[in-house]
Amino acid sequence: MPDADGLEMLAQRIRDLRADAVIEVTHNHGQAMIEVAPDANREALVVLSEQGYSFLSSLHGVDYYPDEPRLGVHYQLLDMDRVDRVGVKLRVTLDDPAVASVVDLFPTADHHEREVYDMFGVVFEGHPDLRRILMPEDYQGHPQRRDFPTGGEPVIFTYNEPQTPGWTQ
Amino acid sequence: MDPVSKVSDYRKLEESVTLSTVEGPLGASGSDGASTELFTLNMGPHHPATHGVLRLLVTLEGEVVRDLKPIIGYLHTGIEKTAETKSYWKVIPVIERMDYLAYFFNSMAYCGAVETLLEVEVPKRAQYLRVIHMELNRIMSHLVWLGTAALDLGAMSMFWYCFRERETILDLFEQSTGQRMHTRYFQIGGVIEDIPVGFAAKLKYLTDEMPRRITQYEALLTKNEIVLQRLRNVGVVDEKTLLGLGVTGPLLRATGNPWDLRKAAPYCSYDDFDFKIPVGTVGDNYDRYRVRTAEMRESVKIIEQAMEGLPEGPHITEDRKIALPPRHELATSMEALIHHFKLVTEGFRVPAGEAYHPIESPRGELGCFVRSDGSSKPARVHMRDPSFVNLQSLSTMVEGSYIADLIATLAMLDPIIGGVDR
């Protein structure tokens, strides 16, 4: 992990590109995290990968319910030479859950972004094939959201399928 | 003499067929457009060679794979959602069921993330016990891979040999943890129990025997003509493409990149042990096979060193706010009873924060992201499962090769669908 000064320097390089790109820089539990504006994720990832953090090791979606803006997308970047990790996160609202896709920069983001779209409903603009990945294609709703209830969905077997018409609604 | 020149005439004829210019099907005139017709084949979800419920949409030109799309989600059980409704220590059993061949790794990644948030110190003995179990698990997982992958190549007996040794390891797990699979042995702050009497002797027997057994497997496979023909120079992907696709683990090491989190960013006292990182040179299926079998030997070395240097001390943190008090204290100490009651009913609270904890699983970087909102249940648990990410590289590996090689490459990729779908 970069120390607090190193992290601030990384954030400064993103700010050089766009002054309002960085919202917050945090350094908790030895984990470096840069929060960027929702439309600045590509700039931030390009700057960081030029600094050596060129391996996107993970991408997760988070629901910050009940805080606003609710949906979050986290990028975990890794520098394999210096064995250093830095996280980038952004938050979008439910009304406008659009984030620029990074599949062309990091091909690994393909499945990850589809999963975040499937589970949280974050729309990755520019993704080549944004479909549901884990849930069925005709599924409604985004089940990892915190206000999505667990249970209540009938288990459909062949024998009880006619007894629960319209179960998909 | 170049070994390739030794192959039979038939093999030469077979190899002279170039994959790019496919002749028309038998009986067709060839130049009337029939030869370029593409054929889409649905493989799975129930197919014995797809190692779980994986569906592949394969576009074929004759026998050559032109495009491949994995369709996943058939084993999705919503474990990440379930985890949000359970207190921190009750999440461990469901987390373990994700990648069902690497259960100790799943719980290690999760416990590591929660321990980072709690800033709790894990006793040295617990770390060594974790290493012993994780490395046993790595051997076990590689044995299942080797058995099933060899089965896909037609080597039936390998399957029985590998599962014989796997059984010995599962017996060890049963002895130390009470369960063969999904053991719930790792707890936040340490492990639930110390190893029982007799475990060390049985483990010693395994670590003495295992290198000899691996030599036997290698004698059967490494220079086997069928294995060489099926695996060498098949599914080659260069290092740069794999890094772009986020591939880690044996697949990346087969290309010569020695990236292993146990060495690069040691966690859980891995820096105490002396072991090597096997790497390949070409990055084909054969290198993947060689890297994994060599890894088993290194794991045996780590287990021997960990067992020899196993430090004395507690096996779980003494912090009563996190770990259950010992059974005998409950009868005599009021505080112990209160702690026990609080932990079992509500669980412990974790300070608000976010943590990502990556470890090296048998298949690559297994990372667990945990977000806490300050309550006794996690607000978000996400597993970066290596199978999920590595599966994306399958289409790059098989495009332009025969459909029979697709089966071999899939076996060498070693995806665990429980981990892919979670």
pLDDT band at A136 (very low <50, low <70, confident <90, very high): confident
Instruction: Find the mean pLDDT for residues B48-68.
Output: 83
For domain B79-384, the CATH superfamily is Cytochrome-c3 Hydrogenase, chain B (1.10.645.10)
pLDDT in tens, B353-374: 999 999 999 999 999 999 999 8
Using the predicted structure, report yes or no on whether residue B186 has a pLDDT greater than 80: yes
pLDDT band per the 50, 70, 90 thresholds, residue B9: low
Q: What is the pLDDT of residue B30?
A: 45
Q: What region, left, alpha or beta, does residue B285 occupy, with left being phi > 0 and alpha being psi -120 to 50 degrees? A: alpha
Cα torsion B60, B62, B63, B69 to 10°: value is 0
Record the pTM: 0.88
From B119, B244, B422, residue closest to A106, measured CB to CB: B244
Please say if the pLDDT value at position A156 is more than 90. no
Mean pLDDT computed over every residue of chain B? 86
**Per the structure block, which two tokens stand in for B151?**
């089965």
Chains A, B: CB contacts within 8 A come to 99
- How does residue B35 score in pLDDT terms, banded at 50, 70 and 90? low
> Residue range A131-139: average pLDDT?
85
- CB B238, CB B247: distance < 8 Å: no
Cβ pair B90, B347 in contact under 8 A: yes
Strand partners, B71: B55
CB spacing of B367 vs A83 below 8 angstroms: no
On whether the CB atoms of residues A74 and A87 are closer than 8 A, the answer is yes
Which residues of B lie closer than 8 Å to A, measured between beta carbons? 72-73, 76, 78, 80-82, 84-85, 116-117, 119, 243-248, 259, 264-265, 353-356, 358, 365, 367, 369, 371, 379-380, 382, 384, 388-389, 391-392, 421-422
Q: Is the peptide bond before B93 cis (omega within 30 degrees of 0)?
A: no
Beta pairing, strands A84-92 & A31-36:
parallel
What value of ipTM does the predicted structure carry? 0.87
Instruction: Tell me which chain A residue has its CA closest to the CA of residue B112.
Output: A29
Distance CA B261, CA B248 (A): 10
If one counts every other C-beta atom within 10 angstroms of the C-beta of residue B177, the result is 21
How are beta strands A84-92 and A98-100 bridged, if at all? unpaired
When computed from its CA atoms, the radius of gyration of chain B, rounded to whole angstroms, is: 24
| Placement of tokens 């996190």 in the chain | B322
pLDDT in the model for residue B26? 44
The pLDDT score that the predictor gives to residue B1 is 42
CA geometry: angle A38, A148, A145, nearest 5 deg: 20
Task: Give the Å distances, CA to CA, from B160 to B143, B154, B217, B291.
Answer: 10, 13, 11, 21
pLDDT band at A81 (very low <50, low <70, confident <90, very high): confident
**Residue ranges per structural domain of chain B:** 3-71, 79-384
pLDDT band, very low/low/confident/very high, at B169 (cuts 50, 70, 90): very high
**Contact indicator for A91, B400 with CB cutoff of 8 Å:** no
